[in-house]
Amino acid sequence: MELSHAAYFYTLAQVGITFAGFATILMALREMRGSSMSKFHLWVAQSYIQSGLVTAIGAMLSPLLYGLDLSETLTWRVASIIIALPSLGMLFLAPRQWRAKTDMPVRLRLRIQIAIGFFINGSLLFNAAGWPVAPNGGLIMLAVSWNLFGFFAQFAESVNFFFETENEDARNPGN
């Protein structure tokens, strides 16, 4: 028997890997244009590659655990904890890492995305505890999807960072 929603998890994993690949291509395009990578550019690119890989791992985790003969309920509990803890850690560290790499303020849109990410990923801890409802895969799908969608939105916004000219880069003292 296959885990419910396995196809969705596998699709998320494929999208996560593809996303990491696009971030890598952006880095290569910037280098091919003769523009160097600032600390900020490197951090942004690393964040996107990392998010794609973390998404793939999170998406494949539930089917893997179920394939190891964990019950469906235990699969949802264990996957919830394993996905929530690193996701919450990454969300917590993101503003500090941003400020360490650039003098640009953390944008309001990004702060809102982080707050929603805390709420959604924090709900995984309740899912693991089985409160207020029995553990289920829907919250895991939501959390992994939100993490990826949040990075998609940030990626769309920050593509401009990768195509700035050297002169524009020089105006940002955080480089």
Radius of gyration of the chain (CA): 18
Phi, psi (rounded to 5 degrees) for 122: -65, -30
**What is the pTM assigned to this prediction?**
0.85
Residue with tokens 């650039």: 102
pLDDT in tens, 45-71: 888 888 889 999 999 999 999 999 999
Q: DSSP string of 130-169?
A: T-SS---HHHHHHHHHHHHHHHHHHHHHHHHHHT--HHHH
Q: Where are the domains of the chain?
A: 6-170
pLDDT in tens, 67-117: 999 999 999 999 999 999 999 999 999 999 989 988 889 889 889 999 999
CA dist., res. 174 & res. 165, Å (int): 15
